[in-house]
Amino acid sequence: MAVLNAATVWFLGVSRSGLDIRQSCEQGNGLRFDEAWNEAHYSESQSFFPLHAKCSATVDLVPAWVNPAVVTLVLLAGACLCVAFCLEARDHRASGAPASL
């Protein structure tokens, strides 16, 4: 569930900016799009993580909670997987069966 929730939050962050950042800034949100800043920092808005869709140096269309939520949910999924493996190993040793990993 944590992995699915992380994917959902990531998708919400991606979809928040739309396909065209300029159009999302100016028409969708009524913000000023800084062309010079965008040209200098274009690669930031094209990465898969962390998500950014910046209109200028101070305005990001991706909500501030998206990136920390994705990290937290991925770590939670990893922790759940580790606990599941540890519990399975403990039960396997308690049953006296030979190890077969």
Structure tokens at 99: 């190890």
| CA distances from residue 55 to 7, 13, 38, 44, 58 in whole angstroms, order as listed | 24, 15, 7, 12, 8
Predicted TM-score (pTM) of the model is 0.75
Q: How far is CA 89 from CA 7, 76, 77, 82, 83, in A?
A: 29, 20, 18, 11, 10
Q: In the prediction, which pLDDT does 3 show?
A: 92
- Are the C-beta atoms of residues 62 and 51 closer than 8 Å to each other? yes
The pLDDT value given to residue 71? 96
Q: Write the pLDDT tens digit of every residue in 31-90.
A: 888 888 888 888 877 788 888 888 888 888 889 999 999 999 999 999 999 999 999 988
